[in-house]
A and B are shown apart, each in its own frame.
Chain A
């Protein structure tokens, strides 16, 4: 029989206020095999750990139970302490008497009874514990970044600069993302392209970075340190090696009716195109749905004019498979669809989203930077900005969260308009102005106070396009009056949401997403750039609305975490994996069909059944792939599958103890 020691923690008053700790210590001593029990105010402190170490030595303990917080909190701490003194770390069990007991019960008697019960269950389990030994798994020194916007570019450059190989997978024809569409950036009003394009070039020319543009992640297998990812490189119909980027093809292309994604559909592009003039890579793509050659078989003008002969109508999608140690998700955001927001007349040409307005004000945009109404080309005399379009909206059509970037870019837009055209009347309708970033509030105040932007607290309920002008109805909540105002252009600060592709990517990575479709972090405060799935990291707006400074900061943090992982030569694996009992297994395949990680295979093994030798098909667990979820253990009809560290016998011993 094991010699068990029980250590009960007060956790200051966290446990001691609701549980009679002394009583738990006394009752524990009555349990089978318990030779020592003690209490301490903070068992996780160095003094507490020393107390455990001394008791193990003094009393020859072969099993330890710590009744304290959740194992998620400090199991690792205590197991490390056990290992230090030569006890196998898996001979230590925790009883959670904080999160599952003292924090949720008010009655001290009841809570104490429950703490005693939970402790005795842990003692019952530890009697059946066996030493487990962690294995090792390799680390592939290469990182995959999904998404080539400013978040992905930043992570890739940081990781590549440290000497590791990085691949960027970008679904559109070029990198740069949303930031490339912006004209100026708040709060310094520096030109977006001027600070982004050098980074794009750095990423493209870096020795350690490989770009896969116009490509998508097809499948992901494996686990932290050892992911195997297949990337689909969509057929570009242009040979990247031969193309010189001269532009003759898209100059001559006669199919010009495709709405330009980069220009938010405000102008058209050709069927063969680069997204914008500074595109990286500077290699065009043929949009096969728009191309006359692909539609009718006739044309081929681009092929005729291409001197290096780079056009390849026969090109097929290509699948590339590569191993990675870490994956960074940086898939970004998009503005929501405004179909359900009819009150703002989003179908009107003079009602724009903020991203469309960025393009209108951009010198390279569809109006060459001229601020004009798209319906009649007139310069507006008045522009109205409406904030929180779909944000902080708890109805099913909207988003309950704050989109975070809108207050600041609206202030930026308003200020830029006023700066260039002081005669234009600029009004902003808002619920609250939220400006908590560095130099953000000063920026907003400058717009309101120095530039004379008129901020009106209230929401707009109706926009009507009258042809040569727009009329809006709104409530002024500070003045308590109804407003009916005439304006020439309306800009909607549209809520942002994660890209549609976030969900399939998350499920390929077995990473989780929240109710709004954003990627979930492992801990909101302490692990903000890690996904709960080991080896998967997050950067940028795929994780929640973020501005550029915050995105770049998160990207840097994610890169640091990736480097920490890639710098290790081997990872220690979790020994709590499934194992098949070959005497009980009959090879039925039930476990294989439920395993989400593909960790179970079959092998024929020679067995000796009461003197009769023969071959039998038996389940075999690949311990490198097994994540210890236990699905196989509960599925196995013959009870042959067990989870090491959580065996059926151990669990039932706990249940028995609880039911005593």
Chain B
């Protein structure tokens, strides 16, 4: 069984436990294992992205070092964690000054120079397993379901750093849906921001942004949405009032593979 070093992130232990638990059971069904890093810390959300933030990057750097020492790529699931992890890793590799400053904090554990490969769970399915193989392993194809893939902004931009997909015309999630046998619905707002954390301060503003996304998807015929981002799911669900259900892509994956979240993990989900 192939093992990946895994960084779940805080939200996946609370609000977004389903994203995590269905990913793990699906992984097992697909023949790989996610091995959680010991004593990981919060990625720092938006703070590590500040160009003058040094200490805020440490949590990510420690996770990246743990993966390096395990000799395996680091796999993430949450769009926001993935975004922060990728960008910190990029800074450590490309920004000489930042590397030196961060390594000054890491006297006992360092140094770290951006060696780790950071992969999103979807990239593991795409690059390592292959969507063709995934299609073969589907036992309950999602035939007839009209599903839109909502990428949000964190996975795609800045595209030169994220290296995820074409930021204006992404296709990765659509190909994933195709492998699961669903009817994928391409809608123009799929790469737009849901409003993010603005929902905490200006509910109206983020509702407006999330509504645009939901309307665009519905207008193009989507009956449900998938996402990899807990915040996107929260904002769109809150706005649409459940008219257009949003679920994590791992939930659909588990359905298609015919696996259930294990009891212990299912308890979390509740």
Chain A interface residues (CB < 8 Å from chain B): 340-343, 345, 395, 462, 464-467
Would you call B168 and A343 a contact (CB within 8 A)?
yes
Please, how many angstroms separate the alpha-carbon atoms of A464 and B167 in the complex? 15
Min CB distance B175 to A, Å, is 16
Complex partner residue of A464 from B160, B166, B169, B216, CB under 8 angstroms: B216
Residue of A341, A466, A467 with highest tally of chain B CB at under 10 A:
A466
Q: A342-B168, A395-B160, A464-B189 are in contact. List 7 more A-B contacts (CB 8 A).
A: A340-B166, A340-B168, A341-B168, A342-B166, A464-B188, A464-B216, A465-B188
Q: Determine if B123 is an interface residue (Cβ-Cβ < 8 Å).
A: no
B169 partner, pick from A342, A395, A462, A465, beta carbons under 8 A: A342
Question: Which residues of B pack against A, CB within 8 Å?
Answer: 160, 166-169, 188-189, 192, 216, 219
B166, B167, B219: which contacts A466 (Cβ < 8 A)?
A: B219
Chain A minimum-CB-distance residue to B170: A342
Measured CB to CB, the closest approach of chain B to A350, in angstroms, equals 13
In the complex, what residues of A have CB within 8 A of residue B168's CB?
A: 340-343
- The complex places the Cα of A395 from the Cα of B188 at a distance, in Å, of 22
Contact B166 A345 (CB under 8 A): no
Q: From A343, which residue of chain B is reached at the shortest CB distance?
A: B168
Find the A residue at minimum CB distance from B188.
Answer: A464
Q: Which 5 residue pairs are nearest across A and B when measured between Cβ atoms? A: A342-B168, A342-B169, A464-B188, A343-B168, A464-B189
Of the A-B pairs whose beta carbons lie under 8 Å apart in the complex, a sample of 18, sorted by A's number, is A340-B166, A340-B168, A341-B168, A342-B166, A342-B167, A342-B168, A342-B169, A343-B168, A345-B188, A395-B160, A462-B188, A462-B192, A464-B188, A464-B189, A464-B216, A465-B188, A466-B219, A467-B219
Q: How far is the CB of A82 from chain B (nearest CB, A)?
A: 55
The SS class assigned to the A binding surface is: loop
Residues of B within 8 A of A465 (CB): 188
CB-CB < 8 A to B167: which residues of A?
342
Give the tally of cross-chain contacts (CB within 8 A). 18
- Nearest-neighbour CB distance to chain B for A108, whole angstroms, equals 36
The residues of B that contact A342 with a CB separation of less than 8 Å are 166-169
* Alpha-carbon separation in the docked complex, A341 to B166 (Å): 10
Cα–Cα, bound, A326→B200 (Å): 71
Q: Which residues of B contact A464 (CB under 8 A)?
A: 188-189, 216
- Distance in angstroms from B82 CB to nearest chain A CB is 22
CA distance A395 to B166 in the complex (A): 13
Q: Which residues of B have CB within 8 Å of A343?
A: 168
A345 to B168, CA, bound (A): 9
Question: Which residues on B sit within 8 Å (CB–CB) of A462?
Answer: 188, 192
Inside 8 A of B160's CB, which chain A residues have their CB? 395
**Which chain A residue has the least Cβ–Cβ distance from B158?**
A395
In the complex, what's the smallest C-beta–C-beta distance from B243 to chain A, in angstroms? 19
Which B residues are in CB contact (< 8 Å) with A345?
188
* Complex: A340 Cα to B169 Cα, angstroms: 8
The answer for the CA separation of A111 and B263 in the assembled complex, in Å, is 82
Q: Which residues on A sit within 8 Å (CB–CB) of B166?
A: 340, 342
Which residues of chain B come closer than 8 Å to A467, judged between CB atoms?
Answer: 219
Q: Which residues of A contact B192 (CB under 8 A)?
A: 462
Closest chain A residue, CB of each to CB of B208: A484
Of B167, B169, B216, most A-chain CB atoms within 10 Å: B169
Contacts of A341 in B (CB 8 A): 168
Of B167, B188, B189, B192, most A-chain CB atoms within 10 Å = B188
Q: Please, which residues of chain A bring their CB within 8 A of the CB of B219?
A: 466-467
In the bound complex, how far is the Cα of B189 from the Cα of A465, in angstroms? 10
Complex CA gap A343/B159 in Å reads 14
* Distance, CA A341 to CA B169, complexed state (A): 9
By a CB distance below 8 angstroms, the chain B residues around A340 are 166, 168
Q: How far is the CB of B118 from the nearest CB of chain A, in Å?
A: 22
Give the Cβ gap from B213 to chain A, nearest Cβ, in Å: 11
CA distance A395 to B157 in the complex (A): 13
Q: CA separation between A462 and B168, bound complex, in Å?
A: 9
Name which of A340, A345, A395, A464 has the most chain B CB atoms within 10 A of its CB: A464
**Closest CB in chain A relative to B71 CB, distance in Å:** 33
A465: nearest chain-B partner, CB-CB: B188
Give A464 to B219 CA distance when docked, in angstroms: 12
**In the complex the two chains form, what is the Cα distance from A342 to B156 in whole Å?**
13
B99 → chain A closest CB, angstroms? 25
| CB closest residue in chain B, given A473 | B192
Question: B55 → chain A, closest Cβ, in Å?
Answer: 32
CA distance A219 to B112 in the complex (A): 55
